[in-house]
Amino acid sequence: MTVKTNHGEVEGFLDGRLWKFLGIPYGKAERFGAPRAYDWKGVWKADHFGKKSVQKQKPGDTNEGEPGRDEMGEDCLNLNIHVPAGENGELPRRLPVAVYIHGGAFQDGSNRERQAERVIGNHSFLYVSINYRLGVLGYLYLGEALGENYRHTGNNGTLDQLLALEWIYENIEFFGGDRSRITLFGESAGAKAIGALMLRPELKKWCGAAMLASGGYQCIRDAHTASVVAKAFYQEARKRGVLRKKEEILTMDADLLMEIQGHLVDNPGNTCMFGPVADGIVLPFDWQERIRRGEYWSGNAIVGSCLHEMVFLRMLHPDLAKKAPEIASCLFGENGKAALETFGKYEEDVRSRGKELSCGEAADEWVEIFSDFMYRTYSRRLAELLTDTGSRVWYYSFEYGTASHVLDQSMAFDGAAGADAFFPGIPKERRERTAELIHESYARFLETGSPEWDGIAEWKPLCEKKSRMIWKETPEAADLDGETVLEGFPDSVYRLL
């Protein structure tokens, strides 16, 4: 199947019931440069995945037997399109479109991780997944180090996402999609990326619905914080004798960049080191005020998080009660003081009742603090802000099994229900049934703009009913006022002086 786009012809292949067009280049970019649209001559053979963004290679990170590093490159701005075939194998006409932005702490991941067959199931919508630059290459802010021409560099990944979304909007109808029915969805860093993109006015044109799991706008950091991270990168490079002049970063070997990045993030707060920057160019300096004034995206949305987002810290750190203050400082920077104050008040309350706090109880409280201040507070805050400015928002809390980070989307789309470690003591057939309920709700939203159906309890948007869906073995709706999340944290998770 050959499709003519505005940038050239692309040839896909039929795999089961899906037409697949893999590795389509939506843009090109020089190192630390803004991306630009790309036109090609002839027919682009879209029969294999494109390069991943350069990132730290994981053991066994291979595809079809190739070394994992060979699958990475700086020329990584590509996307995949999966299209349900018609009865006679033809392309459909005007189907809804679901666009996935992958997570991975803005350092890891790619557009090949989530299987289209699992996402689409027996529904009828196009599934598109995009790559964008990560880590140093996507989010290192060089405005202070290299001057005015590099003020955008803290948002190269954001600019990549914007270019990809523009490409999709302008070309998806050639593949049978309806550009008036595009939904963005993501988890963790992918959801945070969407929260930042919502500040861009063009997103209202390119996207009418969004689904954010375990992420909102909290990853946006001020330019000063981003500059401090850049200074730390340069210090790491100089310490290892691999960089003498600041400009050498423009031509340094990519693997060496990743090596230095690895040292930079070698701390318990590594997941917060990179992310979009309020640079006054791509994202406004006064972004918090703009959100509250309603100068933000609006539409249909699903927003939520998991009850024990950060429970994995207990597994990583058996002595979490002692390690927590250091983790809080690394995760939140200056905001770590608020986390320490919150724990101090809890500890004081326990002692005022004549009790002693055990290490296990302290660890449980820290998991709650980390979960709320990293994710849950912001999901609740975003759901209410969007509702206040006219959006229809279906809000949820995932409380099944370990209820760990992004487990709801992992159950719905990645087969996580088959992993015993996430659901201790729960028979596989029961958790798979719950996964089917969640998938059906999410897939209906991607297809129709609403997750409501008669297979689950009544789930209404917040503008109609102040309630939330609780995802557990038998999903149920509950009063929104019954949910407790910690407040007292600023809009940006990560802040440095």
Q: How confident is the model at residue 481 (pLDDT cuts 50, 70, 90)?
A: very high
Per residue in 227-236, pLDDT (tens digit) is 999 999 999 9
Decide: 243 and 249 in contact? Cβ < 8 Å.
yes
Give CB contacts under 8 A, 24+ apart, made by 30-33.
Answer: 31/74, 31/137, 31/250, 31/251, 32/137, 32/140, 32/142, 32/150, 32/153, 32/156, 32/249, 32/250, 33/156
**Domains recognised in the chain with CATH numbers:** 2-287 (3.40.50.1820), 298-482 (3.40.50.1820)
- Is the pLDDT assigned to residue 62 strictly greater than 80? no
Is 151's pLDDT higher than 70?
yes
Tokens of 37: 């649209």
Mean pLDDT of 455-484: 96
Burial of 225 (0-12, 13-18, 19+ CB in 10 A): buried
Residue 64 binned pLDDT confidence (cut-offs 50, 70, 90): very low
Q: Please, are residues 12 and 21 in contact by the beta-carbon 8 Å criterion?
A: yes
| Region 203-223 average pLDDT | 97
Q: What would the pLDDT profile of 440-468 be if each residue is shown by its tens digit? A: 999 999 999 999 999 999 999 999 999 99
Mean pLDDT score of the chain, rounded to an integer?
95
Phi, psi (5° rounding) for residue 481? -65, -15
Q: Which amino acid is at 216?
A: G
Span 39-57, pLDDT tens digits: 999 999 999 999 999 998 6
Query: Strands 392-398 and 300-306, how do they pair?
Result: parallel
What one-character-per-residue DSSP string does 216-231 give? -STT-EEHHHHHHHHH
pLDDT single digits (tens) 72-122: 999 999 999 999 999 888 999 999 999 999 999 999 999 999 999 999 999
> What pLDDT is attached to residue 268?
87
What does the pLDDT average to over 260-275?
Answer: 92
Structure confidence at residue 488 (pLDDT): 85
The region, left, alpha or beta by phi > 0 then psi within -120 to 50, assigned to residue 376 is alpha
Is the per-residue pLDDT at 263 higher than 70? yes
Residue 66 has pLDDT above 70, yes or no: no
φ, ψ at 140 (rounded to 5°): -80, 120
Structure confidence by residue, pLDDT tens digits, 317-367: 999 999 999 999 999 999 999 999 999 999 999 999 989 899 999 999 999
DSSP 283-347: S-TTHHHHHHHT-S--SEEEEEEETTTTTHHHHH-TTHHHHHHHHHHHHHBTTHHHHHHHHHHHH
According to DSSP, the β-strands at 221-222 and 78-84 are unpaired
The pTM (predicted TM-score) of the whole model is 0.96
How much of the chain, in percent, has pLDDT values that exceed 90? 93
- The per-residue pLDDT for 58 is 58
Token pair for 140: 């290192």
Mean pLDDT of 258-272: 92
- State the pLDDT at residue 65: 42
pLDDT tens figures, 432-441: 999 999 999 9
